[in-house]
């Protein structure tokens, strides 16, 4: 099973948001050394929790610090932008990291509607054009002359699709699964959004409706899960308190940087919050390395997957890196 990474540049209380961006760069180099297959970064806007707003810029820096690992977006929220401009950005990235760029695209706003309108004044109707935008990307990222336009820099003559950024459709519903199947593209389901709700149905639809393409004759599904491993189960659950607190606050519409698990443990949770926290903890992929690796293997086997993408948050960046180290030792080929 291939093991990959999604990093969202989570902000940490007490540190500047710029520190989260620099930590993403360090984590990319760390995960390449561990043998991870891909390193993806996300796009969110106007959120004090997740400060990676420009994946194409961040990927250029990651390209300069890595040599082997595939790098990509998970994803570019395509309705905010011109498909041509996105194609040009990722053609430049391919020139910096030849043959190892993924272009994951999503239809969601990646923030609230006010922010979406600031990014694109036509945001309320832009998502309707998403299927056509994806098809335009397919042509332009391959360097084809499409709609009378070419996205530069073009790939070397005769290189074929091997030198084109590999387009992935991202989603957490049946819509993305059906579009990816129709276009013959890889599909990544955001399992961590709602603890896997709707995943089996979306993956079944994707496989049953899949139309083979030249680059991908067979369906290529994956899921992105949130997981945290530590030397002991107790230690892992302690560090996971930062995300537990964040999720409780998010349900109240309150967003902020990750808080210290020591401070959260000292304060505890309010009685009204406790049931929700316990429900989250029962579903969480959190524990010792062997325990979490076993859960990931079972999940991959149940869903028939050959690759998993892991997203990990922790207040201490060293804890995140250690978690990825432990999982690589247990799972990476």
User: pLDDT tens, 281-300?
Assistant: 999 999 999 999 999 999 99
Planar angle of CA 7, 66, 162, nearest 5 degrees: 90
> Is 274 contained in some domain?
no
CB atoms within 10 A of CB 45: 20
Instruction: Give me the percent of the chain exceeding a pLDDT of 90.
Output: 91
pLDDT of the residue at 150: 96
Confidence grade of residue 333 (pLDDT, cut at 50, 70, 90): low
Q: What is d(CA 239, CA 95) in angstroms, rounded to the nearest whole number? A: 39
pLDDT of the residue at 157: 83
Helix (H) or strand (E) holding 70: strand 70-77
> Is 277 contained in some domain?
no
Q: Does pLDDT of 332 surpass 80?
A: no
Q: What is d(CA 93, CA 306) in angstroms, rounded to the nearest whole number? A: 26
> Is 246 contained in some domain?
no
Query: Hey, is 305 helix, strand or coil?
Result: coil
CATH code, domain with 99: 3.20.20.30
Residues β-bridged to residue 307:
2
Confidence grade of residue 160 (pLDDT, cut at 50, 70, 90): confident
**What's the structural domain count of the chain?**
1
Q: What is d(CA 209, CA 228) in angstroms, rounded to the nearest whole number? A: 34
> Is 187 contained in some domain?
yes
**Which bin fits 46, alpha (ψ -120 to 50), beta or left (φ > 0)?**
left
CB atoms within 10 A of CB 74: 28
Annotate 179-193 with three-state secondary structure: HHHHHCCCEEECHHH
Instruction: Give me the percent of the chain exceeding a pLDDT of 70.
Output: 99
CB atoms within 10 A of CB 31: 25
> Is 316 contained in some domain?
yes
> Is 139 contained in some domain?
yes
* Cβ–Cβ < 8 Å for 14, 311: no
Helix (H) or strand (E) holding 169: strand 166-171
Q: What is d(CA 138, CA 37) in angstroms, rounded to the nearest whole number? A: 23
Kindly state the average pLDDT of the residues 317-329. Answer: 98
pLDDT digits (tens, 9 = 90+) for 41-99: 999 999 999 999 999 999 999 999 999 999 999 989 999 999 999 999 999 999 999 99
pLDDT digits (tens, 9 = 90+) for 204-224: 999 999 999 999 999 999 999
**Which bin fits 35, alpha (ψ -120 to 50), beta or left (φ > 0)?**
left
pLDDT of the residue at 158: 78
pTM as predicted: 0.96
> Is 69 contained in some domain?
yes
145: containing domain: 2-234+286-331
pLDDT digits (tens, 9 = 90+) for 23-41: 999 999 999 999 999 999 9
> Is 302 contained in some domain?
yes
């Amino acid at each position: 099973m291939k093991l990959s990474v999604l990093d969202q540049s989570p902000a940490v209380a007490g540190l500047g948001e710029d520190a989260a961006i620099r930590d993403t760069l360090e984590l990319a180099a760390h995960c390449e050394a561990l043998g991870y297959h891909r390193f993806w970064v996300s796009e969110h806007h106007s959120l004090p929790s997740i400060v990676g707003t420009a994946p194409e810029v961040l990927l250029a820096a990651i390209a300069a610090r890595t040599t082997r690992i595939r790098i990509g977006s998970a994803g570019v929220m395509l309705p905010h932008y011109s498909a041509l401009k996105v194609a040009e950005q990722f053609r430049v990235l391919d020139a910096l990291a030849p043959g190892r760029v993924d272009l994951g695209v999503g239809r969601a706003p990646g923030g609230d509607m006010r922010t979406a309108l600031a990014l694109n004044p036509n945001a309320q109707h832009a998502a309707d054009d998403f299927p056509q935008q994806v098809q335009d990307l397919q042509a332009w990222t391959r360097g084809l002359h499409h709609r009378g336009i070419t996205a530069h820099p073009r790939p070397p003559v005769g290189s074929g699709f091997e030198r084109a950024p590999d387009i992935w459709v991202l989603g957490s519903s049946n819509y993305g699964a059906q579009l990816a199947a129709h276009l013959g593209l890889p599909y990544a389901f955001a399992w961590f959004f709602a603890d896997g709700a709707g995943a089996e149905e979306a993956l079944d639809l994707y496989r049953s409706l899949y139309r083979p393409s030249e680059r991908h004759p067979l369906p290529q599904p994956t899921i992105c899960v949130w997981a945290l491993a530590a030397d002991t189960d107790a230690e892992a659950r302690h560090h996971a308190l930062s995300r537990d607190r964040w999720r409780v606050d998010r349900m109240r519409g309150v967003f902020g940087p990750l808080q210290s698990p020591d401070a959260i443990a000292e304060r505890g949770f309010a009685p009204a919050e406790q049931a929700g926290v316990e429900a989250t903890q029962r579903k969480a992929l959190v524990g010792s390395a062997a325990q979490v690796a076993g859960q990931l293997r079972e999940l991959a086997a149940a869903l028939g997957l050959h690759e998993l993408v892991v997203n990990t948050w922790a207040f201490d960046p060293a804890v995140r890196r250690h978690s990825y180290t432990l999982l690589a030792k247990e799972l990476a080929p």
